[in-house]
């Protein structure tokens, strides 16, 4: 029996994960469910999965949940605030932590799970993009394990030998190819990025996902973040990571070996496949995904990404080649710009512009601690707001607000 903490239980990955978990009650049990502030949805999940612990980052929402559970005599204990997320991530008796909070705000809890030696199934790519060496060192020091849930990285993971230890040469790996759907706009050169609406940007052709990652897919920053994610997961040099646009989202990524062999993982675009692989490994579990019908799909296409129209991919490679602070700044700038696009009327075309300017103006330097990372993140967010000409969010007494507060 594997006992799971699910960080980001109310989101899209949360839904897919609990769907897989519910199919195998003899294999998986839920130790803790954590989310931001959707107490109504978390209450419904507590009724269904009966976790010992529930955590909401928003303390008011946590209080409401606590009262509602007590009224129904459901014995789930509720914790609130950022500390509650950390408690859920490090809960004794939990062996597996599925990290599916969106954004940098997920880093402290995911890092705590790494320090606690948990088996971490990682969807929250931003945590690894900004955690970088800090995160991987914590994994190595505690003996934690890290299994990627992001479909591309899970595909690479499946195509690497089981003994792979972040040393490509030792396993004869020449490079990996991350596939990208291209989002809604790569095949549409006619689209004017200055007038794209949030609804258009979130209308992904193949995947149903949260709004932030949907916008990232439309700018292709998602692929940029995934290049950085792959660098840390697999110990690759940036030149060993290529991106290829594959519009059907059937081939989820590929590994090329020195003998010319290229291994790929294929499946229908449904996140339950990588989640089930990671949850069940080394065994395989059924997860309700429609079997692949290659004859019906008939055609798989591959093309180079257009990095002129989608400069976010280039920016990610540039950040990776710079100092350790650069990916943190890039991620923070992107989070602010995407949020402004979704909620404050910023233009879609502002997103790469803000990212480029923040990379040019940001703080540089080494990252020796979580506090260093948070300081760079805070600084980059301030520059991004300045570029966008928007005010700061309300200050909370916690100086780590940008990574922890209610956005
Ligand atoms: P989503 O917006 O649907 O859900 C986000 C989850 O994070 C929610 O449960 C929300 O409550 C929680 N959250 C947000 N802010 C929080 C805070 N301050 N404190 C605590 N919890 C907070 O997003 P999603 O699509 O499920 O994506 C989650 C992560 O998985 C992202 O990092 C994304 O890049 C990654 N991912 C998603 C997919 C996908 O298909 N959805 C695929 C690959 C990777
Ligand atoms: Mg992905």
DSSP string for residues in 5-16: EEETTTSHHHHH
Q: Per the structure block, which two tokens stand in for 218?
A: 């439309």
Burial of residue 192 (number of CB atoms within 10 Å: 0-12, 13-18, 19+): exposed
Mean pLDDT score, 339-359 = 96
Answer yes or no: is pLDDT of 396 > 80. Answer: no
Residue 205: pLDDT band (50, 70, 90) is confident
Share of the chain above pLDDT 90, in %: 92
Instruction: Convert the pLDDT of each residue in 153-202 to its tens digit.
Output: 999 999 999 999 999 999 999 999 999 999 999 989 999 999 999 999 99
Answer yes or no: is pLDDT of 393 > 80. Answer: no
Burial 194-223 (b: 16+ CB within 10 A, else e): eebebeebbebbbbebbbbbbbbbbbbbbb
From ligand 1's centre to the CA of 212, what distance in Å? 8
Mean pLDDT of the chain: 95
Q: What residues does ligand 1 touch, defined as CB less than 6 Å away? A: 8-14, 35-36, 38, 57, 85, 100-102, 105, 123-126, 150, 207, 209-210, 212-213, 271
Instruction: Convert the pLDDT of each residue in 274-316 to its tens digit.
Output: 999 999 999 999 999 999 999 999 999 999 999 999 999 999 9
Tell me which of 149-153, 205-209, 253-257 is least confident: 205-209
Of ligand 1's listed atoms, the one at least distance from the Cα of 214 is: 25
Mean pLDDT score, 247-252 = 97
Burial 143-160 (b: 16+ CB within 10 A, else e): ebebbbbbbbbbbbbbbb
pLDDT at 344: 86
pLDDT at 407: 30
pLDDT at 394: 58
Of ligand 1's listed atoms, the one at least distance from the Cα of 105 is: 18
From ligand 2's centre to the CA of 280, what distance in Å? 20
Mean pLDDT score, 115-141 = 97
pLDDT at 403: 61
Q: Per the structure block, which two tokens stand in for 157?
A: 């993971």
Residue 255: pLDDT band (50, 70, 90) is very high
Q: Per the structure block, which two tokens stand in for 264?
A: 């790929």
CA dist 153 and 159 (Å) reads 10
pLDDT at 194: 95
pLDDT at 398: 45
Q: Per the structure block, which two tokens stand in for 115?
A: 């320090």
Residue 390: pLDDT band (50, 70, 90) is confident
């Amino acid at each position: 029996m594997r006992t799971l903490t699910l960080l980001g239980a109310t989101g899209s990955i949360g839904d897919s994960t609990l769907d897989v978990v519910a199919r195998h009650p003899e294999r998986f049990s839920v130790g803790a469910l954590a989310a931001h502030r959707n107490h109504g949805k978390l209450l419904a999940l507590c009724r269904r999965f009966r976790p010992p612990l529930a955590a909401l980052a928003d303390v008011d929402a946590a209080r409401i949940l606590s009262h509602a559970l007590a009224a129904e005599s459901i014995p789930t204990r509720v914790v609130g605030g950022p500390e509650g997320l950390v408690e859920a991530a490090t809960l004794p008796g939990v062996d597996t932590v599925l990290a599916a909070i969106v954004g940098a705000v997920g880093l402290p809890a995911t890092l705590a799970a790494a320090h606690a030696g948990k088996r971490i199934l990682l969807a929250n790519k931003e945590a690894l993009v900004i955690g970088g060496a800090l995160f991987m060192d914590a994994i190595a020091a505690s003996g934690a394990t890290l299994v990627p849930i992001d479909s591309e990285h899970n595909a690479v993971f499946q195509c690497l030998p089981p003994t792979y230890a972040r040393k490509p040469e030792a396993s004869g790996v020449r490079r990996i190819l991350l596939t990208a759907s291209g989002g809604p706009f790569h095949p549409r050169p006619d689209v004017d990025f200055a007038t794209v609406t949030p609804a258009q940007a979130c209308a992904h052709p193949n995947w149903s996902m949260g709004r932030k990652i949907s916008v990232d897919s439309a700018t292709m920053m998602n692929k940029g973040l995934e290049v950085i994610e792959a660098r840390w997961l697999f110990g690759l040099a940036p030149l060993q990571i290529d991106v290829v646009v594959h519009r059907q989202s059937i081939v989820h990524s590929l590994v090329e070996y020195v003998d010319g062999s290229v291994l790929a993982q294929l499946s229908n675009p449904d996140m339950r496949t990588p989640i089930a692989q990671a949850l069940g490994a080394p065994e395989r579990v059924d997860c309700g995904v429609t079997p692949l019908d290659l004859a019906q799909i008939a055609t798989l296409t591959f093309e180079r990404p257009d990095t002129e129209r989608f400069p976010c991919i280039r920016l990610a490679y540039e950040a990776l080649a710079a100092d350790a602070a650069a990916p943190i700044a890039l991620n923070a700038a992107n989070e602010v710009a995407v949020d402004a696009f979704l909620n404050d009327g910023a233009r879609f075309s502002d997103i790469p512009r803000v990212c480029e300017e923040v990379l040019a103006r940001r703080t540089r330097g080494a990252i020796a601690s979580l506090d260093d990372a948070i300081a760079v993140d805070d600084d980059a967010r301030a520059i991004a707001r300045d570029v966008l000409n928007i005010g700061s969010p309300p200050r909370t007494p916690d100086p780590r607000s940008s990574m922890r507060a209610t956005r």
